[in-house]
Each structure stands twice: as structure tokens, then as C-alpha cells.
Amino acid sequence: MTRPLWQIAAEIAALKAEKKAQKRMFHSPNKLRSQTFRPESKGQRDPRQQDKAYLAWLHEGTDCIACLIEGRPAFGGGGAEVIEAAHQKLAIASKGWREGGLGPRVHDRRCVPLCAWHHRLAPNSCDTGGQRKFWDRLGLRDGIADFCADLNAAFDQGQPAMPVIRKWAVSPANDDLNDVEEVA
């Protein structure tokens, strides 16, 4: 007795779908089956919002804010010329920022322009030395959220990023840092 080919194909498709559904399931300690946790209600999860236009704008004729505050790296090698969008995963409750953790990147609108050296290559860079320590060292501290907000406002108004970057590079938040260096 032979079965038609369409019936065999339908059975194979059903078996594949069942296998795929089983991969999404896990066994809980009490041996009950339930689907993996995928929060969908508002407030449980903040899915990443991508904005390629903003990232492209952030690279157009901008300088690294850390280079403007601390100066360019003394070695003169590569890394200070390439501007990268550094996603900020800090938790700043007063600004409504939740920590990004080790998972996927946070919203693209929470990016700042950093050179490759200050972003990820230096031993005390933003990504390798810890973002909190990095921004505290530069004197911006929790002001990084306001810096991102100013960058977003400039982008939304069609203005260039450099005036905002220069403003924050010489902001009063950095005066506290400069006073400490002068006393020492």
C-alpha cells in the first residue's frame, strides 16, 4: 500500500513543527512542561530599538568626546581616528535607564561617539574597564544620560552632533574633575 507523496510531505512537516515546538519547551523542576519565558506585557522587557539613521549621523564628522576631554592617545597609533557608536548599558534610575546587562545591545539612541581606543582598545576603555568607571573618570558621571538626550535632540532637529559634543566636553560636570587635577 503506497501513500501519496503529498501526505508523506505533510507528515514530515508536522513532525518538524512538533520538534521545533519541543525545543522551545523546557522541563521545570516539578516535571511540568511550560514554554520558555518571553515577556510581552509592557514594562517587563524593553526590546532594542534600532535606528540606523541615528548611528550613521553619529559617525558624520564627529570626534570622540573622551579625546576632547582627555586628549588623544599619546602613542599616535590607530584607534583614535575611527569613531564608533558606543552603546551605554548603565543603569541611571533618575533618567529611566535600566541596565543593559550582558545580553543584546541597548537602544541605538543610547549611543555616544567614541574612538576605537576609548571605546574598546584601551585597558581602561568604556567597554573593558567598566562604563561607570569610564564616565566617572571623564567627569560626566550620570550626565551621560543627558548627553545622549542632547545628541538625540540635535539629531531630531537635523543639527550636527559636534556642537553638542563640544558643549559636553567642556561642561560644568567636567570642571569638578579639572579642580581635582589642579589640586593634586
The model's pLDDT over 21-54, given as tens digits with 9 standing for 90+, comes to 766 554 444 444 444 444 444 554 566 778 889 9
Q: Is residue 46 part of a domain?
A: no
Cell triple for 158: 537635523
The answer to which of 71-85, 121-135, 157-171 has the lowest mean pLDDT is 71-85
- Choose between 124 and 29: higher pLDDT: 124
Q: Is residue 42 part of a domain?
A: no
According to DSSP, residue 157 is labeled T
Q: Is residue 25 part of a domain?
A: yes
- In a shared domain, residues 26 and 57: no
- In a shared domain, residues 146 and 64: yes
Q: Is 43 exposed, middle or buried (0-12, 13-18, 19+ CB in 10 A)?
A: exposed
Domain that holds residue 11: 5-34
Q: Tell me the pLDDT band of 98, cut-offs 50, 70 and 90.
A: low
- In a shared domain, residues 57 and 28: no
Question: Does residue 139 surpass a pLDDT of 60?
Answer: yes
- In a shared domain, residues 157 and 109: yes
Q: What's the pTM value of the predicted model, to 2 decimals?
A: 0.64
Q: Is residue 44 part of a domain?
A: no
Domain count, the chain: 2
Nearest Cα residue to 161 out of 171, 173, 148, 170: 148
Q: Tell me the pLDDT band of 79, cut-offs 50, 70 and 90.
A: low
In angstroms, the CA 167 to CA 155 distance is 15
- What's the N-to-C CA distance of the chain in angstroms? 93
Angle among Cα 127, 78, 161 to the nearest 5 degrees reads 65
Angstrom CA distances, 87 to 16, 48, 72, 93, 101, stand at 38, 11, 21, 17, 11
- Choose between 89 and 174: higher pLDDT: 89
- In a shared domain, residues 57 and 92: yes
